[in-house]
Chains A and B, each alone.
Chain A
Amino acid sequence: MTERRNETLSAMLDAQEASTESLTDLVRNQESRDTFARYQLVGAVMRGEAQVGQAVDISAAIAAQVAQEPAMLAPKHGRLRRLQMQAWLRPVGQTAVAASVAIIAVLGAQQFMTVEEAVVPASTPSAGHQPVLQTMPVGGVMNPVSFNTMQSSSAQDTSRQRMQLQSFMVDHQFQLQWNLEAPVVEQDAEPENTESQPE
């Protein structure tokens, strides 16, 4: 069964034909959805398209990973390590901006579920090597991006603040996705009851 599904996946990814039944099956099956995500990444790697830190998702993956493993201090060695470092050294401001602007890219759901295998290349950056957050004037002629902490702070505080910044940015993005209804114009300033939940 699984073999067969994977074949279908493979065929789809190679843009070969897949029957409607197998597509429906794929969509319904949680496991194959996860596999699909991994295969997509594998495909990207094989086509030489996957660069670590290339896109907002990867950075988000890092953020999620850091959130889960804040205490990884011992650096490992080797090429993978260096790649990870490079990804991590990119200005995080860019990630946050991208996260807030880029659609879908959003990330808000890590707290519900995580496809760990899909993010392997970018995992476990070392907390000991986190740089101070950089300002990011990239292209932003009109509105230079800056991040300021209001107190003088240790490196540890800075990394904590950066994680918080990511958390709030991502959460707000997720809240925007959960767009239940247009605001009620006549609403009282202080409504007592909370929003109705989605069914």
Chain B
Amino acid sequence: MKQFFLSSLFGLASFTFAAFTFEAWAASTSTDTPTEPQAQEAPEVLVPNNQVPANQTAEGRNSEGAFWFDRMQTALRELNFSASFVTLHSGGMEAYRWVHGVTTSGDSIEIIAGLNGPENQAIRMNNRVTYFSPVISPYSLHSQTLSSPIPSGLYERFQEIRESYDAVPAGGGRVVDRAAQHIRLVSRSPDRYLYSLWIDRDTGMLLSVVTFSTEGDVLEQVLLTSINVFDEAAPELEQISEHWTAPPEVRPDIQDAEIGDWQFEWLPAGFQRVRQNRLQVALDGPVADHYMYSDGLAKFSVYVSADEDRASAMQYEGITSLYSHDHGQYTATVVGRIPLHIAQRIAASVRAAE
């Protein structure tokens, strides 16, 4: 069957590429590269295992890693660039165009558009993001980052994630035909995904992001396929800056009600609650108390639904995990890019306050 053939082909491609990069990850000392051994001036460093607490050496490495991370963050916020990238994951492969610029009037405009299938795109104009898709009317949200395959945590300074991750410089290599610095974001506790970043040594631009499971398997890859950097914002961005009127702003369907008194007996270390509301879950879902947790990079939602609105017990395993734990009078549902067993543990720990 044609479709089957195609998907296995994608699977194969993603697998080989994944295995390839993983070797680089697994190498214990590294001046390694994902493509060719083309050693840069990379320092010799040991790969920490993620249980090791920060020590003197780790801090030294961290400052170099933090330097590269912040350099990349600045590039994402300030650079005028036009790029395209592909994502590879278990669901297949997708291609995107990615444009960013700061216009003469000081507007930061970022566009990410899917290149295959129905035309999806998102435009961020400063702190307002508009999503376009053929199936629903365009809508805007107040948000500092555009939701895309590029993890939103990469748009913030390293200090936002330093409680939970070490940034470990891991040598250099050639990516998208550029000399690249490899940085590993290694979680301090063994309960969340790990990330590899490849950063352009010249411009600081992000060239590749690889997400690994706690076992070190590749879950998802983002790889730029072209990148052009300019002194000034592209002319079309200037036009958008002048003429843009964002579609109506929306927000989650928050109910005007007190949130229930739920207690979490266990949460993975380093996650902070960033939001809580009572809302109706999308697509006519149940009314639930929603909590958003973040460690700066990984994010998950906890929904607690009670009584007749109670969700069923279920689980879903993918790069995004979902687990619903039925506590009898209420159900706790955890969704996010965290390992399934962590979602299970969180959901099971939700208690009604006495």
Contacts of A100 in B (CB 8 A): 318-320
Is A183 interfacial (CB-CB < 8 Å)?
yes
Cβ contacts under 8 Å, B273 to chain A:
187, 189-191
Contact check, A180 vs B144: say whether CB atoms are below 8 A apart. Answer: yes
B-side contacts of A198, CB under 8 Å: 141-142, 249, 251
Interface membership of A1, Cβ < 8 A = no
Specify the chain B residue showing the minimal Cβ separation from A70: B284
State in angstroms the CA–CA spacing of A151 and B324 once bound together. 12
B326 within 8 A of A: yes
How far is it, in angstroms, between the C-alpha of A140 and the C-alpha of B7 when the chains are bound? 10
Given contacts A44-B118, A57-B120, A145-B90, contact A28 B292 (CB under 8 A): no
Interface size of B by CB at 8 A reads: 103
Least Cβ–Cβ distance between A99 and chain B, in angstroms:
9
Are A139 and B282 neighbours in the complex by a CB distance under 8 Å? Answer: no
With a CB–CB cut-off of 8 A, which chain A residues contact B295?
Answer: 183
Tally of A interface residues using CB under 8 Å? 97
Of B136, B149, B252, B276, chain A has the most CB atoms within 10 Å of the CB of B136
Q: From A181, which residue of chain B is reached at the shortest CB distance?
A: B144
A79 to B319, CA, bound (A): 36
Q: Of the 9-residue stretches A4-12, A30-38, A124-132, which lies at the interface with chain B?
A: A30-38
**Which one, B11, B300, B322, contacts A165 given CB within 8 A?**
B322
Contact with A along B121-133 (1 / 0, CB 8 A): 1100000010111
Shortest beta-carbon distance, B67 to chain A, in Å? 19
Assess whether A73 is interfacial by the CB under 8 Å rule.
no
In the complex where A60-B135, A143-B219, A189-B273 touch, is A172 in contact with B284 (Cβ < 8 A)? no
Query: B150's closest neighbor in chain A, by CB?
Result: A103
Contacts of B32 in A (CB 8 A): none
Complex-state Cα separation, A89 to B101, whole angstroms: 43
Q: How many Å lie between the Cα of A138 and that of B318 in the bound state?
A: 12
Chain B residues near A55 (CB-CB < 8 A): 117-118
Contacts of A139 in B (CB 8 A): 7-8, 10-12, 14-15, 90-92
> Is there an interface contact between A194 and B119, defined as CB atoms closer than 8 Å?
no
Q: Could you tell me which residues of chain B, from 299 to 342, have a CB within 8 Å of some CB in chain A?
A: 299-301, 303, 311-320, 322, 324, 326, 333, 335-336
Candidates A157, A163, A177, A181; contact of B147 at CB < 8 Å: A177
Q: Is the CB of B134 within 8 A of A37?
A: yes
List the B side residues contacting A155 at CB < 8 Å. Answer: none
Contact B275 A194 (CB under 8 A): yes
Q: Is the CB of B136 within 8 A of A145?
A: no
- Does A74 sit at the interface, judged by CB under 8 A? no
Name which residue of chain B comes closest to A170, CB basis: B282
Q: Is A83 an interface residue (CB 8 A)?
A: no
Residues of A within 8 A of B179 (CB): none
Identify which of B36-44, B165-173, B200-208, B240-248 touches chain A: B240-248
Bound CA span A60–B283, Å: 9
- Output the nearest chain B residue to A145 by Cβ-Cβ distance: B318
Closest to A23 in B: B243
B87 within 8 A of A: yes
Complex CA gap A44/B117 in Å reads: 9
Question: Which of A23, A54, A94, A183 is in CB contact (< 8 Å) with B91?
Answer: A94
8 closest Cβ pairs, A-B complex: A139-B11, A140-B90, A167-B285, A198-B142, A100-B320, A171-B282, A150-B313, A55-B117
Some 27 contacts from A to B, beta carbons below 8 A apart, are: A20-B239, A34-B137, A97-B91, A104-B112, A109-B139, A109-B250, A110-B136, A118-B135, A139-B90, A140-B91, A140-B318, A141-B90, A150-B312, A150-B326, A153-B312, A164-B286, A168-B324, A175-B252, A175-B292, A177-B131, A178-B252, A179-B147, A180-B275, A184-B274, A191-B276, A197-B251, A198-B141
